[in-house]
Structure 1
Amino acid sequence: MGRSIAVLVALLAAAGCTVQPSGGDGGRRSPVHIDLPGHRTATATAGAGRSDGKTSGGRASGGGGSTAPDPVVLWSRGDTGRDVRELQARLRQVEWLYDGPTGTYDDLTEQAVAGFQGKRGLPRTGETDRVTWQRLLRMTREPGHWELYLMGGQPAGPPDPRCLTGRVLCVDKTSRTLRWMIDGRTVSTMSVRFGSQYTPTREGVFQVYWKSRHHVSTLYDSPMPYAMFFSGGQAVHFSYDFAARGYAGGSHGCVNVRDETAIAALYAQVRNGDKVVVHR
């Protein structure tokens, strides 16, 4: 019998298999590759322990029977890139995200993913694991270029030539960005949105003619903090609606900014008489 076992072990070794000693796994597991159609291949370790006490078996170690998050995390807070843009665009399609896509996995994206997970009985981690991603893929369609890059703004393009001299608020309707420029140097850049189809933001060269820190619109009875007026009732100002809903909404012609910290700093620097260029 002992001779037969020895021969069997030798045959298995020759075939490329390994016999593990009873009661152990040899200290390492073979990687498992998970192929997601059209996306990167995620690599996990089968059965490997996690620092949070979970295992890939789908249950928390230590009992309780609660379902653990999928161990293969595709994207999480701080990640950037085209894949994150697609995630954000698909979350917009199912109305869990109104901001972006920005290409950065920020706090709003994390909250949207957690909400999507909770609604479908998945662990509310806020991280996009393969189970969450596959569920989202089944509920959405492939986003086009507009959904990926234009709905949520994109990196600022080259400044208009009219922005290269003096002190200028250079507003680009194509990339949905505002550059604050002094003598051709970009001091700061921020995302903006514009008027709707029926109340468009005017294009051209203007000047800041009035600043109003705590302005409230008399026409629409809505707050316009840090307002810098440049054309009639149109101004660059902070928008609570833009901060909350992103590009799902629009202004009545003003240039909305959603980053209150950024526009507060901008408001402190801009003077009456500074140039405003609104272009495509």
Structure 2
Amino acid sequence: MGDIRRRGVVALGVTALVTPLTLALTSAPAQAASCTTQAGPYQKQVEKFLGRPMDGKQSAADCKAIKAFQDKHGITPDIGYAGSVTWGVMDLMNKQKAVGDKPNKDGKCPTNKGRIACVNLSLQLSWIQDGNKLVYGPVPVRTGRKGFVTRTGLKKIYWRDIDHVSSLYNVSMPYSQFFDGGQAFHSVGLSMWNPPGSHGCVNMTTATAKKYWSLLKNGDDVYVYGRKPGT
């Protein structure tokens, strides 16, 4: 692999339209139509999330709303079926929202390290704190999928490359900040709930990656903990 730039190659999550949380997909009815008429096993939950009437019955309007959500986040098949993948994403969003502005309420991310970037794999959230003070976040992130999990533990940012390009996958990885071999924070042009996840990096929106770039530097600590559902 040679120099540090080659060693810094990371695996960007590709748009392999599978499960965002590597949840098992409830078999959706196969049909040629772009929208299914069948209610899924999570119909009521999905209807509630989308603000639809909670009758547990599929309607054309229900299907249109579910399909739009699936298309936005790269969930397939995008036929408006309320299966486990679609509900899994919505459930995660609900849990992320419930965290509010206290992402380290459980105290699992160290508060004795000064400025540190925390990554909660279980909730797919990241934030930056300084002692007990929340500096930025929490924000949703997209971490490693099954077989390419983001490694847990205490690490340090050791190399930053604002215009990094992966020579392994030939993809742009702006605002890369490497903290564990080839694993890094960097931006992607995908939904943070796009399946199935990265090849180990912590993917972020461009706005978040820029903020992390401005707030962190080489030598700053990174703490990764928890376990992404399905990995």
Instruction: Give the letter for the 2:194 counterpart.
Output: Y
Query: Matched residues in 2 for 1:250 and 1:95: separation?
Result: 15
Contact 1:193 1:250 in 2 (8 A): yes
One-letter identity of the residue aligned with 1:251: S
Instruction: Please tell me whether the aligned partners of residues 177 and 191 of structure 1 are also in contact (alpha carbons under 8 angstroms).
Output: yes
Identify the residue that residue 228 of structure 1 maps to in structure 2.
177
What residue identity is the alignment partner of 2:216? Answer: V
Cα shift at 1:92: 5.1
Residue in 1 that maps onto 2:4: none
Aligned in 2, Cα 1:175/1:86: closer, same or farther, shift over 3 Å? farther
Shift of 1:142: 7.4
In structure 2, the residue matched to 1:266 is: 212
Q: Which residue of 2 aligns with 1:178?
A: 126
Instruction: Give 1:221's aligned amino acid.
Output: N
Deviations 1:194-223, CA, capped at 9 Å, x for gaps: 111111110111000011111111111111
Alignment partners' CA distance in 2, 1:140 and 1:252: 28
Partner of 2:96: 154
For residue 97 of structure 1, what is the aligned residue in structure 2? 72
AA aligned opposite 2:176: A
* Structure (1 or 2) with the greater helix fraction: 1
How many angstroms apart in 2 are the aligned matches of 1:278 and 1:187? Answer: 17
Would you say how many aligned residue pairs link Structure 1 and Structure 2? 160
- 1:198-277 superposed matches below 5 A: 198-242=147-191, 246-258=193-205, 260-277=206-223
2:166 and 2:173 in contact (8 A); partners too? yes
With over 3 angstroms needed to count, the CA separation of the structure-2 counterparts of 1:85 and 1:174, relative to structure 1, is farther
1:208–1:273 CA contact under 8 A, matched in 2: yes
TM-fit CA distance, 1:263? 1.9
Indicate the residue corresponding to 1:27 in structure 2: none
Query: What does 1:25-64 align with in structure 2 at a 5 Å threshold?
Result: none
**Structure 1 position 83, deviation (Å):** 3.5
What residue is the counterpart of 2:144 in the other structure? 195
CA RMSD of aligned residues (A): 3.3
d(CA) in 2 for partners of 1:206 and 1:223?
24
Letter in 2 for 1:171: V
The one-character-per-residue Cα deviations of 1:141-162 (angstroms, maximum 9, x if unpaired) are 4768634322686134435434
What amino acid does structure 2 have at the position aligned with 1:150? L
Kept in 2, the 8 Å contact 1:92–1:98? The answer is no
2:128 aligns to what SS in structure 1? strand
TM-score normalised by L of structure 1:
0.49
Structure ranking higher on relative contact order (CA contacts 8 Å, 6+ apart): 2
Alignment of 1:129-148 (within 5 A): 140-141=81-82, 146-148=88-90
Q: Secondary structure at the match of 2:199?
A: coil
Q: 1:85 to 1:209 in 2, by over 3 A?
A: farther
1:279 to 2:225 alignment:
yes
Identity %: 27
2 CA distance for matches of 1:197 and 1:142? 20
Quote the residue 2:21 is aligned against: none
* Counterpart position of 1:83: 48
Instruction: String of CA shifts for 1:14-45, please: whole Å, max 9, x gaps.
Output: xxxxxxxxxxxxxxxxxxxxxxxxxxxxxxxx
Counterpart Cα distance in 2 of 1:142 and 1:252? 25
Query: In structure 2, the residue corresponding to 1:181 is in which secondary structure?
Result: strand
